[in-house]
Chains A and B, each alone.
Chain A
């Protein structure tokens, strides 16, 4: 059975267990997703399931997108994402809901991190910066030396510098499922999840359990 869902981040809160311990929890509105296509090794060379999420006004989609969905009487969906799986035992048009996950499951959660713009090395790579005193007040957040002297006589490729930070695909691994609400299509995971509230989130079975 495929363990994967597309969802929308709602926000964080805390919930108590029976012993009174409070856990930080991220609430994700996940599913219902529809199977929109099955990728098979015979045809595409790999096996995966394409899921769709978030019903939308059909005017918002291109005719190509509509045609892709219409053939199997799937409602118009805004987001389509693929989930790799060894044995796709689903059919096109099937509905996938939060019930594929149960309490205590470990999941990987994929999101797009918040954009930080052009960031310096202190923020981007946790460089320590320079001293604030001893006549160095113009170098407090400077990167310092980027390489050695005559040997090697150049700066190595991949040296960490300032640049664009955030707004990239980030996976939070091995989060515990602590809440499943099939009625409201909600799933709660222990801890934080990348991205802003309202951001698109993929939930998968954890790779490293």
Chain B
């Protein structure tokens, strides 16, 4: 990417720590309802990070009711993201955890990484 485009990038949100695949995170998103603003939480596992300046995004997967998987992709630089809290890290051996999509229950667990 050219230096000019890099210079135009939005400043990184200080409330977002460095993320890695396998992290269990809780994403706090600002939601506008009429003229009221509230914060919604989306908690799940980071299964993908896509890097690219202003276009950087990450995908969080969580299991909703009835064991239905829900994935949501957030633009990392979006001003709508209030903060991200990393609750635990996991030991994973690949960058994209798409294999999690086929798994439910016990097999959908990841080994915790402490550091």
Contacts and interface: CB of A to CB of B under 8 A. Distances in A.
B79 A13 contact: no
B1 A11 contact: yes
B79 A18 contact: yes
A13 B8 contact: yes
Nearest to B55: A14
B78 interface: yes
A184 B6 CA distance: 13
B7 interface: yes
B13 to A, nearest CB: 11
A114 B108 CA distance: 47
A15 B55 CA distance: 9
Interface string B1-34: 1101101111000000000000000000010100
Given A14-B55, A15-B54, A186 B77 contact: no
How big is chain A's contact interface, by range? 10 to 19
Contacts of B30: 20
A22 B1 CA distance: 19
Contacts of B32: 19
A142 interface: no
A13 B77 contact: no
Nearest to A10: B4
A25 to B, nearest CB: 9
B113 interface: no
Contacts of B9: 13
Contact of B75 (A22, A29, A179): A22
A181 B10 CA distance: 14
Contact of A184 (B2, B4, B77): B4
A51 interface: no
A62 B53 CA distance: 42
B80 interface: yes
A156 interface: no
B5 A10 contact: yes
21 contacts: A10-B2, A11-B5, A13-B8, A13-B9, A13-B54, A15-B10, A16-B54, A16-B75, A16-B77, A19-B80, A20-B30, A20-B78, A20-B80, A22-B78, A27-B4, A27-B8, A29-B4, A184-B4, A184-B7, A186-B4, A197-B2
Given A13-B9, A19-B80, A184-B4, 9 more contacts: A11-B2, A13-B55, A16-B54, A16-B77, A16-B78, A19-B32, A22-B78, A27-B5, A186-B8
